[in-house]
């Protein structure tokens, strides 16, 4: 029972971690462009923007949705990809940190590539509009999954 609780906590932490990383990627890509047109980006502006985006993308409802949109999408994606991974690991012998890492990356691939199909070609995540942005977001998904898998290993040892 204690292990189950720990797993849920680690899952929640991995979702929060990815949500934070995706938010930070969005912030940084925006700030890089603003710098390129000579907008005055100071350290204060940088950190306040990172904080703002984490709070408003991951913790605050995004009207008309009554829930935090990014956190919900990542949670949904992770539930599916981690669920499939959990089943596959019954037959496939791979270290959990890598298996869940790949699952996290696949969740982000789905989010990044499926959302424009739903929203008439629009990338709802501004940071996903460029190829390098897409790759960065997929790496964020991998890191979240890797974190979850490596914690699982420790719980089960």
Partner 1 sequence: MKNHLFKIGILTIACFACSFVYSDNHKKEYKFETIAEGLSFPWGIAFISNNEILVTEKTGKLRVIKNGNLLEESVSGVPDSLFRGQGGLEGIVLHPNFTENKYLYLAFSETDPLNKRLNTLRVVRGKLEGLALKEVKTIFKANPSRKTSNHYGAKMVFLADGTLLITSGDGFSYREMAQKLDNHYGKVIRLNDDGSIPEDNPFLSTPGAKPEIWSYGHRNQQGLATNTDGSIVYEHEHGPRGGDELNIIEKGKNYGWPAITYGIDYSGALISPFKEKAGMEQPIHYWTPSIAPSGMTFYDGDLFAKWKGNLFISGLVPGDVRRISINGNKVIEEEILFTALGKRIRNVVTAPDGSLVLATDEFPNQLNPQGGKLIRVKPNK
CA angle, 111 as apex, 108 and 114 as ends, to 5°? 135
Asked whether position 53 contacts partner 1 by CB under 8 A, the answer is: yes
Q: Which is nearer to partner 1, 27 or 81 (CB)?
A: 27
Asked whether position 124 contacts partner 1 by CB under 8 A, the answer is: yes
Nearest to 78 by CA among 25, 17, 150: 17
Give dist(CA 18, CA 14) in Å, integer.
6
Helix, strand, coil % (nearest 5) of the chain? 80, 0, 20
Asked whether position 28 contacts partner 1 by CB under 8 A, the answer is: no
Shortest Cβ distance from residue 23 to partner 1 (Å)? 7
The angle, 0 to 180 degrees and rounded to 10, between the axes of the packed helices 43-54 and 2-36 is 140
From 14, 15, 21, 23, residue interacting with partner 1 (rule: CB under 8 A): 23
Q: Which is nearer to partner 1, 66 or 121 (CB)?
A: 121
Residues of the shown chain interacting with partner 1 in the complex, contacts defined by CB under 8 A: 23, 26-27, 30, 33-34, 37, 39, 45, 48-49, 52-53, 55-58, 60, 62-63, 68-70, 116, 120-126, 129
């Amino acid at each position: 029972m204690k292990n189950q609780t720990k797993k849920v906590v680690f899952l929640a932490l991995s979702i929060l971690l990815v949500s934070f990383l995706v938010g930070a990627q969005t912030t940084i890509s925006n700030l890089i462009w603003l710098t390129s047109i000579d907008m005055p980006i100071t350290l204060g502006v940088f950190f306040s923007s990172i904080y703002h985006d984490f709070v408003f993308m991951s913790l605050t409802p995004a009207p008309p949705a009554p829930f935090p949109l990014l956190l919900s999408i990542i949670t949904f994606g992770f539930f599916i990809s981690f669920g499939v991974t959990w089943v596959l690991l019954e037959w496939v012998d791979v270290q959990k940190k890598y298996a869940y890492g790949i699952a996290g990356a696949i969740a982000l691939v789905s989010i990044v590539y499926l959302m424009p199909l739903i929203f008439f070609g629009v990338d709802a995540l501004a940071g996903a509009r460029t190829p390098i942005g897409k790759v960065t977001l997929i790496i964020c998904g991998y890191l979240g999954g890797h974190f979850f898998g490596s914690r699982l290993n420790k719980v089960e040892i």
